[in-house]
């Protein structure tokens, strides 16, 4: 396994990370624990979760899986999206974040997280309040590094400017939807990240499975797939252009002798500012398949064709972005 610095920090993370959104939903507790253990055995150290995944089950499962192996993991979680019905059960206020961190630590069975991320920008809370809170968390020892998620480039740059002006710890990473099917970060977020030393952590690296070729325009939902288990995911399958891209990736992968998922992740790993690609898994076999992407070496014309067929997806709307409801 190769390791990369997380932005301009001294923290090294595995090029392939483990996304755990499916833990407690499409992967039950025993399977999820096996996946975590296999990931650690294979050299994956970056494990990403959030307080809201599977209604807190993801964090609880990871906490159980890491018993006796906590030191092997760079553990990342998030808060800020809607957690409950109350007026303070969302956002990035001091009140909400400090309470959520303490609850996450209990579920994760640890006294610190390596990377604490704001799940989305909060327009109702002054950034200074959020950033001072995160700085206090680092000073308390409960958090090692901080990151953002679903921030627009201007929001991230504003946060960095405030942190530097006030002498606060600043964001070292940003999570964003980024894949062959969503190259919108290349317009502003990638240049900003290169300039400011921010590590990009792509989520939806396979566009929710579209880039594996499992979804086609005939609207079929393979049994056990995300679209089969999560009806809300169907909204991502309404773009025929992205579905067609998935079939093109399948064609190139077959010619190259690899899986379309591995090819898609390998393409992402070649992009500038990428720190770690968080690929989810609901089976240990999927995890091993994702890992093949790290060592994938192909002729330059394959990479050029991938760039060409995905170029239209630099423009238009992102594949996914998560914001607080108004």
The pLDDT of residue 232 is 66
Tokens found for residue 282: 């609901």
The pLDDT of 114-123, averaged and rounded, is 98
Summary mean pLDDT of the chain:
95
Assess whether pLDDT exceeds 90 at residue 220: no
Assess whether pLDDT exceeds 60 at residue 160: yes
Residue 216 banded pLDDT, cuts 50, 70, 90: confident
Q: What is the pLDDT of residues 7-19, one digit of tens each?
A: 999 999 999 999 9
Residue 237 banded pLDDT, cuts 50, 70, 90: confident
Contact status, residue 70 vs residue 63, Cβ threshold 8 Å: no
What letter would DSSP give residue 298? -
Assess whether pLDDT exceeds 60 at residue 185: yes
Q: How far apart are CA 243 and CA 266, in angstroms?
A: 19
Contact status, residue 125 vs residue 93, Cβ threshold 8 Å: yes
The pLDDT of residue 164 is 98
Q: What residues does each domain of the chain span?
A: 3-314
Phi/psi at 284 (5° precision): -65, -30
Tokens found for residue 252: 């190139």
With a CB cutoff of 8 Å and minimum separation 6, the contacts of 106 are none
Partners of 122 in the β-ladder: none
Q: Which helix (H) or strand (E) covers residue 246, if one does?
A: helix 240-256
Assess whether pLDDT exceeds 60 at residue 303: yes
Assess whether pLDDT exceeds 70 at residue 228: no
Architecture of domain 3-314: Alpha-Beta Barrel (3.20)
Assess whether pLDDT exceeds 90 at residue 218: no
Residue 239 banded pLDDT, cuts 50, 70, 90: confident
Phi/psi at 36 (5° precision): -60, -45
Q: What is the pLDDT of residues 94-116, one digit of tens each?
A: 999 999 999 999 999 999 999 99
Assess whether pLDDT exceeds 80 at residue 55: yes
Residue 180 backbone zone (phi > 0: left; psi -120 to 50: alpha; other: beta): alpha
Q: How far apart are CA 63 and CA 65, in angstroms?
A: 6
The pLDDT of residue 326 is 87
* Residues taking part in catalysis: 53
Q: How far apart are CA 176 and CA 149, in angstroms?
A: 6
Q: What is the pLDDT of residues 60-95, one digit of tens each?
A: 999 999 999 999 999 999 999 999 999 999 999 999
Residue of 236 and 10 predicted with greater confidence: 10
Assess whether pLDDT exceeds 80 at residue 235: no
Segment among 237-246, 253-262, 266-275, 290-299 with least mean pLDDT: 237-246
Residue 197 backbone zone (phi > 0: left; psi -120 to 50: alpha; other: beta): left
Contact status, residue 173 vs residue 199, Cβ threshold 8 Å: yes
Name the percent of the chain lying above pLDDT 90.
91
Angle made by CA atoms 131, 133, 138, in degrees to the nearest 5:
95
Residue 159 banded pLDDT, cuts 50, 70, 90: very high
Name the percent of the chain lying above pLDDT 70.
94
pTM given for the model: 0.95
Strand bridging mode 12-14 / 3-5: antiparallel
Extract long-range pairs of 235-239: CB within 8 Å, 24+ residues apart: 236/207, 236/208, 236/210, 236/319, 236/320, 237/210
The pLDDT of residue 57 is 98
What is the 3 state secondary structure string of 144-162?
Answer: EEEEEECCCHHHHHHHHHH
Q: How far apart are CA 98 and CA 94, in angstroms?
A: 6
The pLDDT of residue 214 is 86
């Amino acid at each position: 396994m190769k390791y990369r610095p997380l932005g301009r920090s001294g923290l090294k993370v595995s090029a392939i990370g483990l996304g755990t959104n499916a833990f407690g939903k499409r992967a039950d507790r025993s399977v999820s624990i096996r996946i975590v253990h296999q990931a650690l055995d294979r050299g994956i150290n970056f494990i990403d979760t959030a307080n809201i995944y599977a209604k807190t089950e993801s964090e609880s499962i990871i906490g159980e899986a890491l018993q006796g192996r906590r030191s092997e993991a760079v553990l990342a979680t998030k808060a800020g999206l809607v957690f409950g019905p109350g007026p303070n059960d969302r956002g990035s206020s001091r009140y909400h974040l400090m309470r959520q961190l303490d609850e996450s630590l209990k579920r994760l069975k640890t006294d610190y997280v390596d990377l604490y991320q704001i799940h989305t920008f909060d327009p109702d809370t002054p950034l200074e309040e959020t950033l001072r809170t995160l700085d206090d968390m680092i000073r308390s020892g409960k958090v090692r590094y901080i990151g953002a998620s679903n921030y627009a480039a201007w929001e991230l740059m504003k946060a960095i400017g405030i942190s530097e002006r006030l002498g606060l710890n600043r964001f070292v990473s940003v999570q964003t939807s980024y894949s062959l099917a969503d190259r919108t970060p290349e317009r502003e977020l990638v240049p900003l990240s290169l300039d400011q030393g921010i590590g990009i952590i792509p989520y939806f690296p396979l566009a929710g499975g579209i880039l594996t070729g499992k979804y086609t325009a005939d609207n079929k939902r393979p049994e056990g797939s995300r679209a089969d288990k999560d009806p809300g995911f169907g909204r991502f399958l309404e773009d025929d252009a992205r579905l067609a891209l998935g079939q093109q990736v399948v064609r190139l992968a077959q010619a190259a002798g690899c899986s379309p998922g591995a090819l898609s992740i390998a393409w992402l790993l070649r992009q500038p500012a990428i720190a770690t690609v968080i690929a989810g898994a609901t089976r240990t076999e999927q995890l091993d398949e994702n890992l093949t992407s790290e060592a994938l070496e192909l002729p330059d014309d394959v990479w050029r064709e991938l760039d060409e067929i995905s170029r239209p997806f630099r423009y238009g709307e992102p594949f996914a972005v998560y914001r607080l409801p108004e």
